[in-house]
């Protein structure tokens, strides 16, 4: 399968945190979610991939051939934005358009105006402009999204785009992802990070799970849903089921967690309820398992 | 080194970083400094005038060196305010600047353009005040003071570049302000001491400034790239 | 198309079932293109991978073929294969009926009788 990015052993050393080695793939033509708790290293990884932060070692291969993020032809193909303070706070829609137009070769003013209208942000060509600092967090994020989507790119990389958005705006964001992917069928990809996948489930094709600076699981969502099962059971049989489960929480009334699908038959004999997990349930299970391992 | 030379000009680079181009930025800097100077001096003059009469005001503001001192202070603060703007990654906009085409090359162009803008701004500001003083004298040793303050402000620009190598944000900012404040006053006072004569001190400072600005600027950029650009 | 997002039946199966029905009933004719994977995902507000999996299932059944770079096309359904598909569906439904009959303790005679009555009512 074609890859938008192949991450080959990237590491980053800080005084108090180490990322990697990260080996992962961002498939081309799909939306990939980078899922992990706060402090898992999602932002560091995204920043490295977009040339915002330097890496200590390793390499990333973009679009099957390019490896130098300082190459402008690569930077132009990637549409990146962070969630907090992406632009100086005294900037307006107009300043953003002026700056973006020079900062990238593919910024389209007309499209920016159209997206601003769609996101109800105002008119970037209007005389009277509102400074970013006067906007709510949600509208700031919408502004960043309008700016990055106004560029004709092949890969969107968004750091926590949904966290400050209200439910309606999240729905719109999911629509924007699908529209972006569909506009050039199979040639465009999306990578976004989130610590809460619940509202983004139906816009996620591929998932990469991170904890403590490491990738702990990755794959296409449909495949992961076949690999893992969601298990519920009565507290009475918890002791018997626990060794077969990957993550486990419970009390004397009931327990739940995820397990590998290959253990489904065995767990069924203990009279447990077995279901296909949602991506949200899967995330909780996988991340909880990582926490349990870290505590050991 | 950058593999591909970006086609951005310095004015375009500065527009990416501050949203407005080189000329607008320089003009804005000059205007703000000039207006602050004129308004402040006019304010003190009128206040003292209302209290103690025209002669007292003239004595306090013009003869006693207040107008000279404020020329330096206003300039010093203006330069410091612009020079401490280093577009750190953790500040708003920092990540955007690191993602635009050209990367550090664009940063380099923007910072160079901003230093040039400050230098031109200082010259224009002091030039305007000097011209005003020639029409309506309000400074003692006006012409000499203007030259001296300008020279020392330029020397200050070079020293601020050196200070910006310091990694700690607070220390760097404080030191930059104190240094600019101090050196601009030195510029004003030397003329007072020499009774309006421009001498060896000023020539030395001018030569130092001319040498120091490009060298310190290169040093500052190299240190920034290594320690603060994308760590 | 109608999708239950919270059903226990996976979404890709729901999509596959509805397209299968359209092909078997002749609503989608041989040679016709299916909607693009990402276009359908956009319209249904679901993930791209879900529609892709639905198409892959139909492709495995031989109902559609992926044409490299140009999407999926409906295959010519020859009479025998169509009949086979229909028979398979019929067998599946009858198996369900037998299952219900066994639970209820209803004999073969009675089931045949019920079938006949229902058959005549439909006519």
The model's pLDDT over A245-293, given as tens digits with 9 standing for 90+, comes to 999 998 889 999 999 999 998 898 888 999 999 999 999 999 999 988 8
Residue C15 lies in a domain: yes
Residue B5 lies in a domain: no
Q: Under a CB-based contact definition with an 8 Å cutoff, are residues B160 and B62 in contact?
A: no
**pLDDT tens, B206-222?**
999 999 999 999 999 99
Summarize the confidence of residues A153-162 as an average pLDDT: 96
Q: Is B6 exposed, middle or buried (0-12, 13-18, 19+ CB in 10 A)?
A: middle
Distance CA A231, CA A253 (A): 14
- The number of distinct structural domains making up chain B is 1
| Same domain (yes/no): C32, C59 | yes
- List domains and CATH numbers for chain A: 3-219 (3.40.50.300), 224-295 (no CATH)
Please report residues of A whose CB lies closer than 8 A to that of C12. Answer: 222
Task: Give the C-alpha separation, C69 to B14, whole Å.
Answer: 44
Q: What is the mean pLDDT of residues B179-201?
A: 89
* Within a domain: C4: no
The DSSP output letter for A50 is T
In a domain, B6, yes or no: no
Which residues are bridge partners to A157 per DSSP?
A80, A191
Whether pLDDT at A93 is above 90: yes
Give SS3 for A78.
Answer: strand
Helix, strand or coil, per DSSP, at residue C37: helix
Reported as a pLDDT band with limits 50, 70 and 90, residue A25 is very high
Q: What is the dihedral of CA A191, A193, A197, A203, to 10 degrees?
A: -20
Confidence of residue B186 (pLDDT cuts 50, 70, 90): very high
Q: What percent of chain C has pLDDT over 70?
A: 99
Provide mean pLDDT across the span A150-179: 94
Burial class (CB in 10 A: 0-12, 13-18, 19+), B136: exposed
- Rg (Cα) of chain A, in Å, rounded? 21
Q: List the domain range (segments joined by +) for residue B219.
A: 11-229
With cut-offs at 50, 70 and 90, classify the pLDDT of residue B3: very low
Q: List CB contacts (< 8 A) between A82 and chain B.
A: 95-96
Residue C17 lies in a domain: yes
Residue A285 and residue A228: Cα distance in Å, rounded?
10
Per-residue pLDDT, averaged over A110-118, amounts to 96
CA nearest to A173 within chain C: C45
Averaged pLDDT, A124-143:
93
Give the span between the Cα atoms of B68 and A289, in whole angstroms. 71
Record the tokens describing residue C33, joined without a space: 């293109």
Instruction: State the pLDDT at residue A117.
Output: 95
Instruction: Decide if A286 contacts A216 (C-beta within 8 A).
Output: yes
- C41 with C94, same domain? no
Q: Which of residues 8-27 of C touch A (CB under 8 A)?
A: 8, 10, 12
CB contact under 8 A, A70 and B8: no
Nearest to A232 by CA among A273, A263, A278: A273
Mean pLDDT to the nearest integer, A71-78: 93
User: Domain with C70 in it: what CATH number?
Assistant: 1.10.10.10
Q: C39-65 burial string, b = 16+ CB within 10 Å, else e? A: bbbbebebbbbbbbbbbbbbbeeebbe
Q: Which residue has the higher pLDDT, B1 or C73?
A: C73
The answer on C67 and C105 residing in a single domain is no
Q: Which domain holds residue C42?
A: 11-74
Under 8 Å CB pairs connecting chains A and B tally to 84
pLDDT digits (tens, 9 = 90+) for B151-182: 999 999 999 999 999 888 899 999 999 999 99
Rounded distance, CA B99 to CA A49, Å?
A: 10
Any domain includes C117: yes
pLDDT greater than 80 at residue C79:
no
- Any idea what DSSP says for residue A127? S
Residue with tokens 């639905």: C54
SS percent in chain C: helix, strand, coil, step 5: 60, 5, 30
CA of residue C36 relative to chain centroid, distance: 19
- Map residue B84 onto helix, strand or coil: coil
Nearest to B16 among A47, A70, A99 (CB): A99
Same domain, residue pair C32 and C69: yes
Nearest to B228 by CA among B91, B83, B80: B91
**Domain-embedded: residue B213:** yes
Report whether pLDDT(B199) > 90: no
Q: Please indicate, yes or no, whether residues C55 and C90 belong to a single structural domain of this protein.
A: no
Strand order in the sheet with A228-234: A249-250, A254-260, A228-234, A273-275
Q: Which residue of chain B is at minimal alpha-carbon distance from A51?
A: B99
Q: Is residue B2 part of a domain?
A: no
Q: Is residue C40 part of a domain?
A: yes
Question: Are C17 and C70 within one domain?
Answer: yes
C88 lies within 8 A of chain A by CB: no
Could you tell me if residue C1 is inside a domain?
Answer: no
- Among B36-40, B73-77, C88-92, the minimum mean pLDDT is found in C88-92
Integer Cα distance of A266 and A243 in angstroms: 11
The closest of A149, A157, A140, A185 to A33, measured between CA atoms, is: A157
Of A185, A220, A221, the CB nearest to C36: A185
pLDDT grade for B6, boundaries at 50, 70 and 90: low
Domain assignment present for C5 = no
Nearest to B62 by CA among B150, B176, B139: B139
- Is residue C85, in this structure, part of any structural domain at all? yes
Q: For chain A, say whether C70 makes contact (Cβ under 8 Å).
A: no
* Distance to chain A for B25, nearest Cα, Å: 14
CA angle B198–B202–B203, rounded 5-degree value: 105
Substitution target in A26, A27, A205 with the highest count of C β-carbons within 10 Å is A205
Both structure tokens of A142: 């919408």
Q: Are residues C88 and C65 in the same domain?
A: no
Terminal-to-terminal C-alpha distance of chain C: 29
Q: To the nearest whole percent, how much of chain A has pLDDT over 90?
A: 80
CB contact (8 A) between residue A103 and residue B92: no
Q: How far apart are CA A203 and CA A219, in angstroms?
A: 15
Angle subtended by helix axes A167-183 and A137-149, to nearest 10: 10
pLDDT exceeds cutoff 60 at B5: no
Q: Establish if C53 touches chain A: CB-CB under 8 angstroms.
A: yes
Pair B72, B139: CB distance under 8 Å? no
- Flag whether B155 is in a domain: yes
Residues of C in contact with A222 (CB under 8 A): 12, 49-50, 53
Q: Which residues neighbour A140 within 8 Å (Cβ) at sequence distance 6 or greater?
A: A132, A164
Nearest to A30 among C39, C48, C69 (CB): C48
**Is the same domain home to C29 and C47?**
yes
Count of beta carbons in the 10 Å neighbourhood of residue B73? 19
Given this model, what pLDDT does residue B231 score? 85
Task: Give the orientation angle of helix B66-83 with respect to helix B142-163, to 10 degrees.
Answer: 30
Residues A205/A192, Cβ–Cβ less than 8 Å: no
Model confidence at A35, pLDDT cuts 50, 70, 90, reads very high
Q: What is the pLDDT of residue B116?
A: 94
Contacts of A86 in chain B (CB under 8 A): 92-93, 95-96
Chain C touched by A90 (CB under 8 Å)? no
Domain count, chain C: 2
Phi and psi at residue A122, in whole multiples of 5°? 110, -170
- How does the average pLDDT of chain C come out, rounded? 87
CA distance C75 to C61: 11
Contacts of A56 in chain B (CB under 8 A): none
Which positions in chain A touch C49 (Cβ < 8 Å)? 30, 205-206, 220-222
| pLDDT confidence of residue C123 | 67
Q: Is the pLDDT of residue B1 over 50?
A: no
DSSP string, A102-139: HH-TTB-HHHHHHHHHHTT---TT-SS---GGGS-HHH
User: How many Cα atoms occupy the beta-carbon half-sphere of B56 within 13 Å?
Assistant: 9
Per-residue pLDDT reduced to its tens digit, B55-89 = 888 888 888 888 999 999 999 999 999 888 889 99
Confidence of residue C21 (pLDDT cuts 50, 70, 90): confident
* Cα B155 from Cα B207, distance rounded (Å): 9
Count of CB pairs separated by less than 8 Å, A with C: 54
Share of chain A above pLDDT 70, in %: 100
> What DSSP state is assigned to residue A55?
-
């Amino acid at each position: 399968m074609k890859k938008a990015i192949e991450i080959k052993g990237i590491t980053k050393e800080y005084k108090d945190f180490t990322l990697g080695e990260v080996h992962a793939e961002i498939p081309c033509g799909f939306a990939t979610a980078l899922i992990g708790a706060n402090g898992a290293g999602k932002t560091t990884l995204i920043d490295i991939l977009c040339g915002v932060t330097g890496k200590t070692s390793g390499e990333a291969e973009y679009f099957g051939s390019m490896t130098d993020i300082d190459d402008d032809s690569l930077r132009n193909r990637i549409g990146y934005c962070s969630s907090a303070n992406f632009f100086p706070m005294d900037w307006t829609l107009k300043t953003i358009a002026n700056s973006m137009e020079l900062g990238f070769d593919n910024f389209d003013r007309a499209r920016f105006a159209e997206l601003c209208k769609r996101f109800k942000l105002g008119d970037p060509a209007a005389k009277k402009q509102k400074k970013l600092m006067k906007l709510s967090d949600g509208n700031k994020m919408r502004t960043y999204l309008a700016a990055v989507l106004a560029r004709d790119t092949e890969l969107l990389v968004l750091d926590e785009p949904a966290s400050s958005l209200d439910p309606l705006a999240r729905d719109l964001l999911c629509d924007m992802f699908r529209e972006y992917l569909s506009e050039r069928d199979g040639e465009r990809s999306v990578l976004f990070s989130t610590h809460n996948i619940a509202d983004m489930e139906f816009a996620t094709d591929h998932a990469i799970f991170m904890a403590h600076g490491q990738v702990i699981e990755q794959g296409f969502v449909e495949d992961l849903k076949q690999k893992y099962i969601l298990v519920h059971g009565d507290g009475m049989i918890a002791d018997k089921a626990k060794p077969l489960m990957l993550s486990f929480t419970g009390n004397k009334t009931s327990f739940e967690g995820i397990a590998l699908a290959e253990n489904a038959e065995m767990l069924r004999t203990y009279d447990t309820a077995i279901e296909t997990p949602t991506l949200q349930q899967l995330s909780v299970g996988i991340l909880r398992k990582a926490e349990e391992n870290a505590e050991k | 080194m950058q593999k591909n030379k970006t086609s951005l000009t310095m004015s375009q680079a500065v527009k990416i970083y501050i949203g407005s181009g080189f000329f607008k930025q320089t003009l804005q800097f000059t205007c703000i400094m000039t207006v602050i100077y004129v308004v402040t001096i006019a304010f003190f003059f009128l206040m003292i005038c209302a209290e103690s009469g025209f002669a007292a005001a003239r004595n306090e503001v013009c003869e006693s060196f207040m107008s000279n001192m404020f020329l330096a202070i206003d300039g010093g603060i203006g330069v410091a305010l612009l020079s401490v703007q280093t577009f750190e990654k953790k500040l708003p906009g920092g990540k955007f600047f690191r993602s635009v085409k050209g990367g550090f090359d664009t940063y380099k162009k923007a910072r160079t353009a901003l230093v040039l803008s400050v230098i031109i701004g200082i010259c224009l500001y002091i030039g305007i005040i000097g011209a005003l003083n020639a029409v309506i004298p309000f400074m003692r040793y006006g012409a000499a003071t203007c030259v001296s303050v300008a020279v020392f402000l330029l020397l200050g620009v070079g020293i601020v570049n050196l200070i910006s190598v310091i990694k700690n944000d607070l220390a760097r900012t404080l030191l930059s302000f104190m240094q600019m404040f101090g050196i601009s006053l030195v510029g004003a006072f030397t003329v007072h001491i020499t009774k309006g004569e421009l001498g060896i001190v000023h020539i030395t400072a001018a030569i130092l400034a001319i040498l120091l600005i490009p060298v310190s600027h290169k040093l500052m950029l190299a240190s920034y790239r290594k320690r603060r650009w994308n760590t | 198309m109608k999708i239950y997002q919270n059903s226990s039946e996976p979404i890709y199966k729901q999509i596959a079932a509805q397209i299968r029905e359209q092909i078997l009933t002749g609503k989608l004719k041989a040679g016709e293109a299916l909607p693009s994977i990402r276009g359908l995902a956009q319209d249904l507000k679901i993930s791209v991978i879900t529609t892709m999996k639905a198409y892959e299932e139909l492709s495995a059944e031989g109902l559609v073929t992926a044409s490299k770079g140009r999407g999926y096309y409906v295959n010519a359904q020859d009479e025998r294969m169509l009949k086979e598909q229909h028979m398979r569906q019929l067998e599946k439904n009858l198996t369900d009926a037998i299952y219900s009959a066994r639970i209820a303790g209803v004999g073969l005679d009675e089931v045949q009788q019920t079938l006949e009555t229902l058959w005549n009512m439909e006519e």
